[in-house]
Amino acid sequence: MGRSRAVKPTLGQKKLMTEARLIVKNWLVLREDAEELRLVSRASGRNRTIKKAPAPASRRG
């Protein structure tokens, strides 16, 4: 379940936003799960979704 309102991003979330070429101070976090980060613009209320990079598969054997 997502949050009921947007919150300030954590350091890890800020890094993902910077990699997506977003200005961190302009965005708030609505929801985060294993695959994506849902954001909302502070100014316009526009929603944006950032896909997270998949974790590298561990090789055992």
How is residue 49 written in tokens? 């979704």
pTM of the model: 0.79
Judged on CB neighbours under 10 Å (0-12, 13-18, 19+), 22 is middle
State in words which class domain 11-51 has. mainly beta
Q: What percent of the chain has pLDDT over 70?
A: 89
pLDDT at 24 over 80: yes
Indicate the length of the chain as a whole number. 61
For 16, other C-beta atoms within 10 Å of its C-beta total: 21
| pLDDT confidence of residue 31 | 94
| pLDDT confidence of residue 3 | 62
Q: What percent of the chain has pLDDT over 90?
A: 77
What's the pLDDT tens digit per position in 34-53?
999 999 999 999 999 999 98
Helix (H) or strand (E) holding 16: helix 11-19
